Amino acid sequence: METPYPKPITPAQTRIGWIGIGVMGSAMASRLLSAGYTLTIYARTPSKALSLQSQGAHLANSPFDVAKTSDVVFTMLGHPSDVRSIVLAENGVLSGLNCGGVTVDNTSSHPALAREIFAAAREKGCWSVDAPVSGGDVGAQEGKLAIFAGGDGGVVEWLSPLFEIMGRATYVGKAGCGQSCKIANQITVGGNLVGLSEGLVFAGQAGLDVRQWMESVRSGAAGSMVMELYGERMIGRDFRPGGFAEYMVKDLGMGVDSVEEADENVVVLPGAALSKQLFSGMVANGDGKLGTQGLITVIERINGGK
């Protein structure tokens, strides 16, 4: 079967497809355009593609049409069901991808689905990489995302010129491992967001200046990337999404609620279960489309706030 290795990735000869142009996806695709790559994109709502089109992206009519004219197709979608529909459906990415082509899924999705896509890609002489990301909208805009890549190590290495435009990729193992890495990442981030929210609420109710409190602790053990990304936003009531709160419920659920059939070890995650419950509270309050930093509103409500 043909592999992509003999043909190095360059703006002059590598055609890129992109599907999923929300907050994160549009910023990532924009960086590839700025680096000189030719992009063909698909959007279920074409009006959302106008900004990327103004940068030179070409709009296609279907995932099939994107794949047919691309060497590498990226997907950055909301849910595993979206990935299945866009990649595996009759008119999906794999149906149009030419032999030796690669599909890269940046969605936070399920490890089992990543393995299914990898097997389906190999059957037709193509490759797939599951490469979910972390770093929020700021990381996407600045090209500083952490990228967790699972699949064939050689293919991941071949893709490095593209990954380097978006951030720093780490090869974490076979197909599905990228998604498992992201779930573990979200478990950690969720716990950090709970702690930061509670720290800010406690400091405020104790009569402290919350900005001064954050400045005083950020260089110590309480400091974290979560604090750097979201602390000021929480204080300033800026809940614009870098990642939706409802997606955190999805991500944590894949760790807390599901045990893969092939996995004989049940992992008990009490902290992640609490984080999921609190983010579910955001969704129940009608705030699922707010950024994850909006978790502080749930802690405020528990303590008698609005």
Catalytic residues: 182
Q: Which two tokens stand for residue 276?
A: 């999921």
The contacts of residue 147 (CB under 8 Å, 6+ apart) are 106, 131, 132, 133, 163, 166, 167, 168, 169, 170
What are residue 146's phi and psi, to 5 degrees?
-90, 125
Q: Which two tokens stand for residue 106?
A: 């940046």
The contacts of residue 249 (CB under 8 Å, 6+ apart) are 276, 279, 280, 283, 288
CA-CA distance, 104 to 288, in Å (whole number)?
A: 27
